[in-house]
Structure 1
């Protein structure tokens, strides 16, 4: 696609922190090279309505989608839900994983997600025997490429079944033995992904949680994982995780990760629901990203994390759909605000610009896809031409201030998504 130029004209667009009218966008090879505000369309422009930057799903487990609508009648808690999740995980083959992931990624794209961070740990065959190559990872790559969504494959280190516990029988396919072998496979995977995915696929890394990686392995990862790679981890999703970590190490999960030099501006803490004030300060001082997954956290009864306190301390916010009980970036953003209203008993916890940023720039920064992760939300020269067209004339949005759409719009209001300059209408 080298040198391919794309030209679009937007009736209105979110540009560098403000809604502007009559915006012309030119892109080359899927990167914005020119933005002009207040001009009419040219004859060869693709004409669009109201356009905003593409939303980033910074935390996804594609296969969890198979549990949607199948667990509510059983009640229970997170740990009982997890047992059902393991059953699904161990039924998947590379072929069936591709089918599930393609369906999920297509649903994401149609909902307005233009990039996804896939937190992936289904590395091996059930029982732990390695595949001949990287079959499960390549199934995800093929699925994302087919769906036309940008993929950051967050290949996950998952070595223990709990703090100082071996992997259980149902977890064997997740593990590589130790961090050295995980890193070796990670580097081989990086080589295998070279040239794949039509330029839409990059490789990141994840530590499943402090339950799943020992102190020694954290040290190995800190010393050997390339510093320019985005690093994610589940953090303090459950109080039981915090208790086990404190008992074993005398530190909270955030404290343990920070003690190994792993909490930095490239680090994303997923969930971060049950934090101490010290944890909040560590994450904020580092400029880390917090990936909130409000619909999943509600579905699993996890609790409501201290998102405004984290942002106030200096951390950035992003969103994810995690187990995909809902795939709708605007629903996640609305819940991000509304859950805090319930928790703090006041309105307007996050102004609209903060919600736009969490859905777009925050997630792209978390996934290593943005050159300006801390900048005001909006289209800008030098960034990916990834965008969403929203139908502001729909029955849902009639009379709504477009600036406040994160609280009113939903995925059904998405008219089109653009990924690297390629425009797709929902259902196509």
Structure 2
């Protein structure tokens, strides 16, 4: 048995001081308050949060950071650059890239990632590369294997899109059923979008794995909404609802361009919504109705998506700042609500994680309170001041995986990424 003494801790009931966490086989066995640090227990300074959950990742997109801004363009021109990258990857090169990307997440406080995976080309070699990469980086993985059958509504896949397609929903489901789960990996499903999965296949994909998380890109761009309305006479959200795809195990990613009816359908069904604020800003997607969704009943989560930035604390702050820009009002989300979104592991199929509580995985993120960014901040509001640069220690499953921005097993992440890229 090991343990950690936390100067300050974000517990389910709120912040507390001088918290002793005992650990056995990666799980928290006791949480108590003690003034004296017991022998053999590691001290974690600052405010210690539960491990952060990155609910939406495309690991290979990290190779595009800082390389797509020269000519402005749109989401759709950015997509062409992404396709070109996807066409060059092999299982071996993807393993090296994803390992570095997951290491970058680990030093930023991420202890579990939902990988929205569509680079499979009818086989599971790429998925196995992601499994290995996450394990070596010390990050739990939910492999959200995406069904991708069309190049647009009513259009066949073309060119590099053929690497994404299994041909039919049945063949997709048969291949996903062959993926293995283990102590570090869970398997989920994904509808890439209503653009990429025809209407007649949506119900099959939505119901193929009813006990696993289901994710879907939803209304990221107005053009997607227009195409769906033209083809089916309804919004993408309504189309998914009619296919039985909106459920408490479902997470809709982005949800940027939603009608009031869409918000109601998502909330009433308990469908979660994952916001990816830095990606949505980078791609000029827009600002989605986050507060309205939360009020309607949709649990919120956060993702770094294309990894223009890997900084969960910045994503949380950007969620609130986006609401301020959209509405002209401050305090749309309380700090506790931002922490709940930061630590929403249930969205990616790890419902026991994301809490400093007995029975939960011992995932801890110690954030400094004495840096140039956080000095003087109220500890219960530090989520609105800190960045990934303030993450001092990251513990995953009771094991320290990163200290002061350096990965314990893989070393300096900048060097690791530089060698790969």
TM-score (normalised: structure 1): 0.92
Structure 2 equivalent of residue 13 of structure 1: 9
Output the aligned Cα RMSD: 1.3
How many angstroms apart in 1 are the aligned matches of 2:314 and 2:13? 21
| Pair 1:188–1:410, CA change in 2 (3 A) | same
Aligned pair partner of 1:66 in 44, 63, 81: 63
- SS of the residue corresponding to residue 144 of structure 1 reads helix
The 5 Å alignment of 1:195-344 reads 195=182, 199-223=183-207, 225-344=208-327
Structure 2 equivalent of residue 379 of structure 1: 356
Deviation at 1:202, TM superposition (A): 0.9
- SS of the residue corresponding to residue 177 of structure 2 reads helix
Deviation at 1:261, TM superposition (A): 1.1
Aligned pair partner of 1:427 in 397, 406, 417: 406
Deviation at 1:28, TM superposition (A): 2.3
Provide, for residues 236-285 of structure 1, a one-character-per-residue CA deviation record: whole Å limited to 9, x for no partner.
00011011111111221111111111101100000000001111001111
Q: Tell me if the contact between 1:290 and 1:318 (Cα under 8 Å) persists in the aligned partners.
A: yes
Deviation at 1:156, TM superposition (A): 0.7
Task: Determine whether 1:102 maps to 2:81.
Answer: no
- SS of the residue corresponding to residue 353 of structure 1 reads helix
71-80 vs 417-426, which moves further: 417-426
| Pair 1:94–1:154, CA change in 2 (3 A) | same
How many angstroms apart in 2 are the aligned matches of 1:40 and 1:215? 61
How many angstroms apart in 2 are the aligned matches of 1:150 and 1:241? 32
How many angstroms apart in 1 are the aligned matches of 2:23 and 2:200? 46
How many angstroms apart in 2 are the aligned matches of 1:273 and 1:164? 23
Q: Tell me if the contact between 2:251 and 2:347 (Cα under 8 Å) persists in the aligned partners.
A: yes
Q: Tell me if the contact between 1:17 and 1:353 (Cα under 8 Å) persists in the aligned partners.
A: no
Deviation at 1:29, TM superposition (A): 2.0
Structure 2 equivalent of residue 36 of structure 1: 32
Number of equivalent positions: 404
How many angstroms apart in 2 are the aligned matches of 1:371 and 1:427? 27
How many angstroms apart in 2 are the aligned matches of 1:396 and 1:170? 44
How many angstroms apart in 1 are the aligned matches of 2:51 and 2:44? 14
Q: Which runs of 4+ in 1 moved over 4 A?
A: none
Task: Determine whether 1:395 maps to 2:372.
Answer: yes
**Unmatched 5+ stretches in structure 1:** 125-129
Q: Tell me if the contact between 2:27 and 2:362 (Cα under 8 Å) persists in the aligned partners.
A: yes
How many angstroms apart in 1 are the aligned matches of 2:349 and 2:35? 32
Provide, for residues 167-196 of structure 1, a one-character-per-residue CA deviation record: whole Å limited to 9, x for no partner.
01120000001110000000011xxx244x
